[in-house]
Amino acid sequence: MRKAGEFEPVATVKSVEVAVRILEVLTESTDPVRVTELARHLDMTKARVSRHLQTLTALGLVDRAQGGAEGYVFGRKLLKFGRAAVYRSNIVEIARPYLHDLCQATGHTALLATPTRGGAMVVASAPSLHEPGVMIHPGTLLQLPASPSARLIHYFEQQKPTPPRVQENLARFGVDFEVDTRGNGLGSIAVPIFEPDGLICATFGVILSSTLLIPEPAGDLVRPIKEVAELIQSQYAEGAISPLMPEYIGN
């Protein structure tokens, strides 16, 4: 005779698996996901998916979309967990001393950013003492089209449409660069860092005066950024490269 509750651990594990699958679908979508879409992706009934969404919403891991949109998105608690994981990740620890090296080598504020929904998020930075006005703090979101970090992530994740000139800049210089069109006199340069499987892990680069990017950055500015990025790449995942990375001729 089986004891009451004997099957509860199995049922609990199954519920966790479903919850993770729901979160995976939300991760892969740039827009709110409706219950109907989740049910189709997971091959489950809408009623079953709805029950799991109610639990995840109560836990703060999932939220209903705002602004009149229908569907579900990541909850604030999950974003908090994600930020904590990123700040403690291996790439941040590896890159942190190199940020200061790059800042000293170029005289400009250096930053490391990782992929986030719709762009990139700064996870570490080293502000230049020569540019007290150029401060960028961890948690800052970098967005298309002005941010090379966001553009590189968009490009290497094969999101559409492809930002203009990214592939050309990579082919010529091995980096992407852009002048901020908001008229603040700033611009930035970024280079990708890859996971062992070739997926983009982070971007590494500098924020500087836009005048140094017109019409294009000088070789002696680009060179230390690429050199330091190569050191980070070799420590994090030596030899890793995206199949989308073009051969470049820049010095």
- Over the chain (251 residues), the average pLDDT of each successive run of 10 is 49 80 82 90 90 89 82 78 61 92 93 88 88 74 91 92 90 92 83 93 94 93 95 92 79 50
| 62 and 158 housed in the same domain | no
| 142 and 229 housed in the same domain | yes
Residue 80 lies in a domain: no
Q: Select from 48, 74, 100 the last residue of a domain.
A: 74
Helix axes 148-156, 166-173, angle to 10 degrees: 100
| 151 and 188 housed in the same domain | yes
| 25 and 57 housed in the same domain | yes
Of 195, 188, 202, 228, nearest in space to 98 by CA = 228
Identify the burial level of 233 via C-beta atoms within 10 angstroms of its C-beta, where 0-12 means exposed, 13-18 middle and 19 or more buried.
buried
| 181 and 128 housed in the same domain | yes
| 205 and 143 housed in the same domain | yes
pLDDT of residue 1: 44
Element (H, E) at 51: helix 46-58
| 132 and 51 housed in the same domain | no
pLDDT of residue 183: 67
Number of domains in the chain: 2
Residue 81 lies in a domain: no
- For residue 70, the one-letter residue type is E
Residue 249 lies in a domain: no
| 135 and 58 housed in the same domain | no
Of 145, 143, 137, 138, nearest in space to 118 by CA = 143
| 108 and 210 housed in the same domain | yes
| 102 and 224 housed in the same domain | yes
Query: Which domain, by its residues, includes 70?
Result: 8-74
Q: Select from 30, 48, 74 the last residue of a domain.
A: 74
Is-above-0.75 flag for pTM?
A: no
Residue 2 lies in a domain: no
pLDDT of residue 17: 87
Q: Select from 33, 49, 74 the last residue of a domain.
A: 74
Residue 251 lies in a domain: no
| 136 and 215 housed in the same domain | yes
| 66 and 98 housed in the same domain | no
Residue 142 lies in a domain: yes
pLDDT of residue 205: 96
Provide the CATH number for the domain around residue 124. 3.30.450.40
Provide the CATH number for the domain around residue 13. 1.10.10.10
Residue 246 lies in a domain: no
